[in-house]
Amino acid sequence: MFAPIRPRRSVLYMPGSNSRALEKARSLPCDGIIIDLEDAVAPEAKASARDQVAGVLAQGGFGRREVVVRVNGTGTPWFDADLAAIAQIAAVGAGVHAVLIPKVVDPETLRVVGRQLEALGAPSSLRLWAMIETPLAVLRALDIALAARDPVARLAVLVLGTNDLAKESGAQILPGRAPMASWLSHCVLAARAGGIEVLDGVWNDFRDLDGFGRECAAAAQMGFDGKTLIHPSQIAPCNEAFSPPEAEIAAARALIAVFDRPENAAKGVLQIDGRMYERMHADIARKRVALADAIAARG
Ligand code: COA
Ligand code: MG
């Protein structure tokens, strides 16, 4: 009924220059990793990090984890070589799933990069993820997300960059994130309008897992599919916050069963224990069950 769901609850950044972190990633329980060649790598280390990352990707071993590489920005001196290195690895079928493009502010950038990947021989399974991390990007999030309708753009996921947003906007990052809440929700809506997924930004204070847990719960309530992370300690609480609770799934299965009863086949709406349910609620329930099943299948 639904396209196979790939859980993206927890997606961990790691510097491409940090071989210890790259090695550890092969055994961490995150749904995905973002190997960073951009902000987490100093300018003088860019070329060596790219070579190291290419070697690590060719070696593989990341199992069911989705592997994403954040390249340097399209206007930087490193972009072309970054993209070529990833395309080359993807072309031989090695395990890299997406390229994360920093500071996207328009849909055309994605099409240009998509055409570059095509010319470099990257298979169409290599997708693009777009960082939304500037005021212009938030304001244009809908146009950017709608690029997903054009296969040339390869767009699959929006990723919020809240540290850059704070820097560029003057808004503060506070517990509860009131100053940014409307921007975050706007990006969730934009992603849905484009039929794609959306990941929340990072929580910097990685020793404060209580505050982090609260931010994950709020992000899940807003509709984010998952959150980007900076430290392994954040993975377990993040997975929990973005996994449908057992009680919810039990109730969802019960609701689906009621709608599936022959006597309810012609009913658009019914009540259970004094609460109204329409078929859309059964649709939501099916989607949540499919997500829970996909998570359970990861073991
Ligand atoms: N990915 C994989 N492993 C990581 C990791 C990450 N992001 N962050 C830490 N680890 C590993 C460390 O290598 C260490 O492993 P070990 O004890 O087995 O050797 C263990 O987790 C504990 O790390 P800890 O000592 O608590 O942290 P640290 O001082 O080594 O690193 C940071 C702290 C913030 C520098 C590091 O977490 C980091 O680089 N995070 C990602 C930053 C990034 O990519 N930013 C760009 C996007 S926002
Ligand atoms: Mg950034």
CA of 69 to the centre of ligand 2 (A): 14
Domains observed in the chain: 10-241 (3.20.20.60), 246-297 (no CATH)
Mutation pick for ligand 1 pocket among 24, 39, 62 (CB with most ligand atoms within 8 Å): 24
pLDDT of residue 2: 57
Ion ligand 2: protein residues whose beta carbon lies under 5 Å: 133, 161, 164
CA of 163 to the centre of ligand 2 (A): 7
The CA-atom distances, in angstroms, between 77 and each of 14, 47, 54, 71, 223 are: 21, 11, 18, 11, 36
CA of 232 to the centre of ligand 1 (A): 7
Burial 145-184 (b: 16+ CB within 10 A, else e): bbbbeeeebbbbbbbbbbebbbebeebebeeebeebeebb
pLDDT of residue 164: 98
User: Is the shortest distance between the CB of 253 and ligand 1 below 6 Å?
Assistant: no
pLDDT of residue 4: 78
Could you report the per-residue pLDDT of 218-241, keeping only the tens digit for each? 999 999 999 999 999 999 999 999
Q: In terms of DSSP bridges, do strands 197-200 and 32-36 run parallel, antiparallel, or are they unpaired?
A: unpaired
pLDDT of residue 7: 98
Ligand nearest to the CA of 133: 2
| Residue minimizing CA distance to atom 19 of ligand 1 | 20
CA of 253 to the centre of ligand 2 (A): 41
Ligand nearest to the CA of 22: 1
User: Is the shortest distance between the CB of 159 and ligand 1 below 6 Å?
Assistant: no
CA of 271 to the centre of ligand 1 (A): 50
Could you report the per-residue pLDDT of 65-89, keeping only the tens digit for each? 999 999 999 999 999 999 999 999 9
User: Is the shortest distance between the CB of 226 and ligand 1 below 6 Å?
Assistant: no
| Residue minimizing CA distance to atom 8 of ligand 1 | 231
CA of 77 to the centre of ligand 1 (A): 27
- Give the chain's residues under pLDDT 70: 1-3
Among 284, 240, 203, 244, which residue's Cα sits nearest to residue 31?
240
User: Is the shortest distance between the CB of 68 and ligand 1 below 6 Å?
Assistant: no
